Amino acid sequence: MADTVQFDLVSPERLLASVEAKEVQIPGSEGDMTAMPDHAPLITTLRPGVLKVSGTDGDKEYVVTGGFAEINESSISVLAEQAVPRDEISQEQFKAMVDDATDRLAKAQETYVNEPGPVDDAAKLLADMVAMGDEIGLSAN
Amino acid sequence: MPSLKDLKTRIESVKSTRKITKAMQMVAAAKLRRAQDSAEQSRPYAERFGHVMSKLAASVGDSESAPKLLRGTGSDQTHLLVVMTAERGLCGGFNTNIAKLARAEAEKLKAEGKTVKILTVGKKGRDSLKRDYADHFVEHVDLSGVRNVGYSDAQGVAQGILDRFDAGEFDVAKLFFSQFQNVVTQIPTMQQIIPADVSSDADGGDDAFYDFEPDEEAILTQLLPRGVATAVFSGLLENGASEQGARMSAMDNATRNAGEMIDKLTIQFNRSRQAVITNELIEIISGAEAL
């Protein structure tokens, strides 16, 4: 059994990381999960949160706002909508993300008056975003 | 026979034209590098995205419950052509080639009795298609204020397309842009974005059985709109690189032509000057002989 797995983090604009990792903690939409080498094939959606990578050359953390992860025995690919290394994220950037989520909630409330589904989704997105802010020590306001 | 003065002014004007085209070529070369970089940077995402998409599509198959974005609306009566071109001209056949491809497709669909709707991104495409298809136009997205195309711009365009799809305005959407090959070759390309075309990504070898969290359909409803945005985004970036490449080679040609023109005019200028001198000499000599 291989003790590392190829980990790639990509956002639409660039490839952020491509390293050998020992384990990756992924903020899945159904809960956090830690993927290690020889994980069963899985595709999951992400919620806003912190992605933690334990690589062969140290640990790294990234803030992601959503997207997908594809996991199989030998590779983990995270396709983030937006991804920023945790130590590079600024209060303004985070504020912009929160504002975006707030807008989305307002828009969902407007469009889907009698359908709770999309509104709840948007509300959850915002709540996740705020919770992520607490985790990385940035305030949502 | 133009006078010496006329020739001189013409040479000067061609020289300044050459300076301008040379400058434009150099600017395009600098911008090309950046555009090419961002086009390359976006490729890993698009590739992996296609991979995940084909996995999901294979797993959902043709089931009734599959989202419309994947399965289609069940009809192909109304086609939306999304034509992406540059905001500026002076880049050789770049805009014309994309418009030509779009026009051929529109004509083909019309001949089949289909309804054609056109959405343009980029001023040049709008201008050239508006003449023939003014009543097919549904929208023009203006990105002229945007310097570096970001994913959010693509998302905006994609959202507009998706809203129209949800409103049932069309059944099939096709994207027109220019694939960047190298500085001299850009290939006008047509890509179907709705319903999602996943067949090309199907790699038969790897048939691992994937788990999905949440279920396939929930993921697909999130994934497919992003697929449209990703396709638009990579189209925009490819276009950006193609435009600069096309402009660079067009301006290179223009500079070279201006150089040739200057050489030709200079020879003509020198000949005329020599003719004038000879003429004067003849006059002086024959004047002296007459004495």
Of A44, A79, A81, the CB nearest to B48: A79
CA distance B66 to B27: 48
pLDDT of residue B205: 46
Contact residues, chain A, for B201 at CB < 8 Å: none
CA-closest candidate to residue B32, choices B142, B258, B191, B184 = B184
- pTM value is 0.85
CA distance B38 to A108: 32
pLDDT of residue A24: 92
Task: Encode chain B (291 residues) as per-residue pLDDT tens digits.
Answer: 688 999 999 999 999 999 999 999 999 999 999 999 888 888 889 888 888 888 887 777 666 667 788 777 878 889 999 999 998 888 888 999 999 999 999 999 999 989 999 999 988 888 888 888 888 888 888 887 777 788 888 888 998 899 888 888 899 999 999 999 888 889 999 998 888 876 644 454 455 678 888 887 788 888 888 889 989 999 999 999 999 999 999 999 999 999 999 999 999 999 999 999 999 999 999 999 998
Contact B214/A29, CB-based, under 8 Å? yes
pLDDT of residue B108: 93
Catalytic residue (choose from B66, B80, B91, B121): B91
A93 touches chain B (CB under 8 A): no
For residue B41, the chain A residue with the least C-alpha distance is A14
Q: How close A57 comes to chain B (CA, Å)?
A: 23
Contact A42/B212, CB-based, under 8 Å? yes
Show me where the domains of chain A are located: 5-86, 90-136
Q: Is residue B263 a part of any domain in this protein?
A: yes
pLDDT of residue B216: 79
| pLDDT tens column, B218-275 | 888 888 888 899 899 999 999 999 999 999 999 999 999 999 999 999 999 999 999 9
Where chain A has pLDDT below 50, the residues are none
Contact residues, chain B, for A70 at CB < 8 Å: 48, 51-52, 55
Contact B51/A70, CB-based, under 8 Å? yes
Give yes or no: residues B96 and B199 share one domain. Answer: yes
Q: How close B81 comes to chain A (CA, Å)?
A: 23
Of A28, A73, A77, the CB nearest to B213: A28
Q: Is residue B136 a part of any domain in this protein?
A: yes
Contact A13/B38, CB-based, under 8 Å? yes
Give yes or no: residues B282 and B195 share one domain. Answer: no
Contact A15/B45, CB-based, under 8 Å? yes
Contact B214/A45, CB-based, under 8 Å? yes
pLDDT of residue B152: 85
Contact B212/A30, CB-based, under 8 Å? no
Q: Is residue B26 a part of any domain in this protein?
A: no
Give yes or no: residues B171 and B276 share one domain. Answer: no
Q: Which domain holds residue B186?
A: 35-248
Superfamily of domain A5-86: F0F1 ATP synthase delta/epsilon subunit, N-terminal (2.60.15.10)
3-class DSSP state of A37: coil
pLDDT of residue B204: 47
pLDDT of residue B201: 47
Give yes or no: residues B102 and B205 share one domain. Answer: yes
Domain count, chain B: 2
For residue A82, the chain B residue with the least C-alpha distance is B151
Q: Is residue B291 a part of any domain in this protein?
A: no
Contact residues, chain A, for B38 at CB < 8 Å: 13-14
Contact B219/A77, CB-based, under 8 Å? no
Give yes or no: residues B255 and B241 share one domain. Answer: no
Give yes or no: residues B99 and B127 share one domain. Answer: yes
Give yes or no: residues B67 and B16 share one domain. Answer: no
Of B52, B154, B208, the CB nearest to A68: B52
CA distance A14 to B44: 8
Of A11, A72, A73, the CB nearest to B45: A11
Q: Can you name the residues that pair with A20 across neighbouring β-strands?
A: A6
Q: What is the CATH number for B199?
A: 3.40.1380.10
Give yes or no: residues B260 and B198 share one domain. Answer: no
Give yes or no: residues B112 and B156 share one domain. Answer: yes
Query: Active-site residue B237, yes or no?
Result: no
DSSP A125: H
